[in-house]
Amino acid sequence: MRKTFLILLSGILFATSVFSQTDTLNAPKAVLPGVYADPHIAIFGDKFYIYPTTDGSEGWKSTSFTAWSSKDLVKWKNEQVILDLPKDITWAKERAWAPAIAFKNGKYYYYFSADVNIGVAVADKPTGPFKDVLGKPLVKKGALRGQMIDPMVFVDDDGSAYLYFGQGNCNMVKLNDDMVSYDSTKLVSIKPKGYNEGSFVFKRNGIYYLSWSEFDTRDPRYSVAYATSKSPLGPFVKAENRPVLKGKGVVKGAGHHSIVQVTGKDEWYIAYHRFKIPGGNGYNRETCISPLRFDKEGNILPVDVFEKLKAVRVK
């Protein structure tokens, strides 16, 4: 009897262990309430900020942008609308998508997609209010092949800033000191294998990491890959067969990400969207955050989309 009991107990423990490793039916909750996509995460002072696309309309016809702040990555405060296209922009009224933010010259520069153009607005605070700087697009629709969307700006250690953007191709160019202009003759366009959209750049230990989303945001296979370089403008070499982020089980369409380093630490987090759980799709997506880790060689390790996020303080 005792032998039978021990065998049964061992079977239960083994089954529990296996299930705990393969349970893909219970994902952590999204960090923002409701449907938000394309999150750009950043740190300013002692707070984290997220700048997302407002989701929930077929065709992604949102007309405004919001900002969110947090002191611990877990609890987020809605800072309300920071840029309203019909009110604040003269050259576009809808399709407010995939923003990014950068700090330089004592100002906050907010780059955004609007009706498949890229614009830039400026503010004195990370929560705005933001004002259109140029009165026209920074990158106009049709300027290059593919869609003029998904801007991202990386500010290097020497203060130089670089703009990355584009769907279909990844376009790269150094910005002028004013952060709102560039020399178009020095623009570089590349298309890494699998590249679709949502490029993001960061630097770690002297290496530049360019990451992007593959497939379409309406495709459950939507995922993130990356490449590395010794220069912010490349050439970049793709990390083959090393996906950064991909869905599994109930997590579908995990992509369009951004990455942040905790101030003063080699501690990194990735913000991204997935299909809303339950019942989501490419027009109903929700924002999540997961730890991002590296191996000893500096390769990005695959993100565990089922890992529960713990509270983190900036300082």
3-state secondary structure at position 22: helix
What is the residue type of 159? G
Q: Which position among 55, 197, 214, 286 bears the catalytic label?
A: 197
The residues facing 40 across adjacent strands are 51
Whether residue 183 lies in the annotated active site: no
Q: Which residue has the tokens 């949102």?
A: 62
Residue type, 95: R
Identify which of 124, 91, 93 has the alpha carbon closest to the alpha carbon of residue 110: 124
The verdict on whether 94 is a catalytic residue reads no
Beta-strand runs (E) in the chain: 36-44, 47-54, 64-70, 77-84, 96-104, 107-114, 117-123, 131-132, 152-155, 161-165, 170-174, 188-190, 197-204, 207-214, 223-229, 237-238, 245-246, 255-261, 268-275, 285-292
Rounded CA separation 100/41 (Å):
8
The active-site residue, picked from 38, 132, 150, 214, is: 38
- For residue 242, give both structure tokens: 């090393």
Smallest CA-to-CA distance from 216 within 60, 34, 85 is with 60
Q: Which residues are catalytic?
A: 38, 197
